[in-house]
Amino acid sequence: MDWSTDFSGKSAFVTGAGSGMGRAVASGLLQAGADVTLFDLKEAPGDLPEGGRYVQGDVSDDGAVAAAIGGQAEASGRLDYLVNAAGVLWFERDKSAVDIDLELWDRVFAINLKSVVHTVRHAVPFMKQSGGGAMVHFSTIQCLRGDAQPQDAYQASKAGMVALSKSVAIQFAADNIRSNVIYPGPTLTPMQQRWHDDPATGQAIADYVPLKRLGTPQDMANACLFLLSGAAGFVTGTELIVDGGITALP
């Protein structure tokens, strides 16, 4: 069996699925036969992946997340996969912890980290009923290093996601529930609209990447589908770097 093309009979919940990495993951799962709820704050895009169930909602709203995950489990009779791809990076306002507005700090943490608490706490009971499951959470290589032009709320919230994933992996390993993290490198998504607006800057970053290109949402989706699949059945509590080699540079 080709793990990459068969998620038949499985059920998934994907946040941040209105665009970018989340959308690519949801599309891959749908194409591979899974039943999928796409959850995002944005209005439903006009070209939704065929067969997906789109729910508009805020990942920082625990009640909305609970209702959407419960709806997915009820509609499909099970829940096998959770993908946390929602997140914000507010370049113009997210800055050093010394300077940042603390209300903004709290809002970034609510969206990037507390949202993972919301999804996990509501997904786990349904995964237990289904006999197990797998989670993938999208972090960033930025939480592995410092930055002279910091976005400290983004970086710290995404680092917290890694610690939470490890804890979840150990807590629920006996229930056959796996939890892993992807560290994306520079990826051409709507979050990085600046690279569309300024191609020269995007090209300079691509030139810095050892593989000489920016990542794509599909690159991240491919890694995610692997971690969700049975091919990664002995992989839990760890992180997969998908960055074109940046973090291997001296």
- Catalytic-residue membership of 81: no
| Residue 208: per-residue pLDDT | 95
| Residue 240: per-residue pLDDT | 98
Which of 54, 81, 154, 183 is catalytic? The answer is 154
Q: Which of 179, 80, 180 is nearest to 133 (CA)?
A: 80
| Residue 1: per-residue pLDDT | 38
| Residue 195: per-residue pLDDT | 66
| Residue 223: per-residue pLDDT | 98
| Residue 200: per-residue pLDDT | 86
Question: Contact 180/239 with Cβ under 8 angstroms?
Answer: yes
Q: Which of 136, 140, 116 is nearest to 242 (CA)?
A: 140
| Residue 213: per-residue pLDDT | 95
Exposed e or buried b per residue across 53-87, where buried means at least 16 C-beta atoms within 10 angstroms of its C-beta:
bbbeebbbebebbeebbeebbeebebbbbbbbbbb
Question: Contact 134/228 with Cβ under 8 angstroms?
Answer: yes
- Residue 4's Cβ-side half-sphere holds a number of Cα atoms within 13 Å equal to 4
| Residue 2: per-residue pLDDT | 47
All domains in the chain, ordered by first residue: 3-234 (3.40.50.720)
| Residue 197: per-residue pLDDT | 72
**pTM, entire model:** 0.96
Q: Look at the block and give the residue holding tokens 């989706």.
A: 221
| Residue 174: per-residue pLDDT | 98
State the Cα–Cα distance between residues 115 and 104, nearest whole angstrom.
Answer: 16
| Tokens linked to 68 | 């959407």
How far is residue 25 from each of residues 9, 90, 149, 226, measured CA to CA in Å? 17, 23, 30, 11
Query: Which regions in the chain score pLDDT beneath 50?
Result: 1-2
